[in-house]
Amino acid sequence: MADAIQSVLAPLADLAVARGLTYAVVEESLKQAFVRSAQEAQLAQGLPAHRLVSRISAATGINRREVTRLTQSDPGAPSPAGASLVSQLFTRWISDRKLRVKGKPRVLPRLGDAPSFEALARSITQDVHPRTMLDELCRLDLARWDAETDTVSLIQDAFAPRGDLQRMVEFLGDNVGDHLHAAVENVIGDEPAHFEQAVFAQGLSADSVEEVRNLARKHWKALVTEAVPLLEQRIDEDAQSPEIATRRVRLGLFTYHQDSAQTEPETGSAGVVPRRLPSGK
């Protein structure tokens, strides 16, 4: 268990150090998370409110005075950031078959009837002017406007707004948070509740890794193209019964690569591709 915790905390420490967050700030957040988790567990068991502080202290090892302070100042668990209008526009552009040519996002005239950038923007919202949406896409280095032809084209195949650090950090928290929730619930639950699979391989060159990354990109594009229209359809249909439309879902795909010559070899055998595949007859 300690090794697993270290593996999870190491990249969080990297992020904190890189962005100037001190240990004291992170420690406060960790204590708050511990108290919140223990409180939710005790309330789920029907524990009376007047006994919460003692039980939370016993479960977390945090003294009662600190538990009282943290429960009284807790603003509640952060909610996942809703999809911005710009991200909705980007996702519609890369997933709508009417806006694709030979599998790639179509270059759109800036103005005019569909298919155009103006029509696409107005299909997302009537409250924000299309030019404002265009300016934001260009600021985030996601799209380019050609003034000579008055056309707009996407220059990224994924919504990764490099020009907006705050939004990138929000994505990190939402995506990694949900992924970790899925993995933890699968481990501590009676049976796996979430789909979470991975394959690991080592002994690869940089060119081989890039080939794998290209394969992942290819399948992600196909998945987005199929999943987004399905999700939009289900949202519209479930809106007819709002009392049952209370769930959310996050669907993701990732790759991670590292120079293993500078790290310890990964342990375990589940989902591991052997260094050399056995020859067969």
Confidence (pLDDT) at 224: 87
Query: How confident is the model over 183-222, as pLDDT tens digits?
Result: 999 998 888 889 999 999 999 999 999 999 999 999 998 8
**The residue to which tokens 């795909």 are assigned:** 253
Q: Is residue 79 scored above 70 in pLDDT? A: no
Q: Is residue 192 part of a domain?
A: no
**Contact indicator for 174, 78 with CB cutoff of 8 Å:** no
Chain-centroid distance, C-alpha 233: 22
Q: Enter the tokens of residue 107.
A: 């270059």
Over residues 78-100, the mean pLDDT reads 79
Looking at the domain assignment, is residue 177 inside a domain? no
Give how many domains the chain has, as a whole number. Answer: 3
Based on the domain organization, do 73 and 89 belong to the same domain? no
**pLDDT of res. 194:** 93
pLDDT at 280: 43
Q: Same domain for 206 and 255?
A: yes
Query: What pTM does this model have?
Result: 0.66
- Evaluate if residue 103 carries a pLDDT over 80: no
- What does the pLDDT read at residue 77? 62
Residue 189 lies in a domain: no
Among residues 50, 77, 104, which one ends one of the domains? 77
CB atoms within 10 A of CB 142: 23
What is the rounded average pLDDT for all residues in the chain?
85
What is the model's pLDDT at position 221? 86
Backbone angles phi, psi at 154, to 5 degrees: -80, 145
Higher pLDDT, 169 or 203: 203
Determine the average pLDDT of the residues in 117-130: 92
Does pLDDT of 135 surpass 70?
A: yes
The answer on 106 and 73 residing in a single domain is no
The reported pLDDT for the residue numbered 263 is: 58
Helices (H), the chain: 2-18, 23-44, 52-60, 64-73, 85-95, 117-124, 130-139, 165-188, 206-238
Asked whether residue 42 is domain-assigned, the answer is yes
Residue 164 falls inside a structural domain: no
Q: Same domain, yes or no, for 63 and 100? A: no
User: For residue 211, is it within any domain?
Assistant: yes
Q: Is the pLDDT of residue 153 over 80?
A: yes
Q: Are residues 202 and 281 in the same domain?
A: yes
pLDDT above 70: residue 269 = no
Examine residue 90 and state whether it is found in any structural domain, yes or no: yes
- Per-residue pLDDT at 262: 66
Q: Name which residue leads in pLDDT, 149 or 279.
A: 149
Q: Is residue 178 part of a domain?
A: no
Domain span including residue 243: 197-281
| Domain boundary, last residue among 55, 77, 99 | 77
Check pLDDT > 80 for residue 72: yes
Over residues 231-257, mean pLDDT: 91
> Looking at residue 57, what is its pLDDT?
93
CA–CA distances in Å: residue 271 to residues 3, 20, 154, 222, 268: 19, 36, 36, 23, 9
Domain boundary among 77, 93, 121: 77
**Distance between CA atoms of 179 and 190, rounded to whole angstroms?**
18
Q: What is the pLDDT of residue 136?
A: 87
pLDDT of residue 166: 73
pLDDT at 118: 94
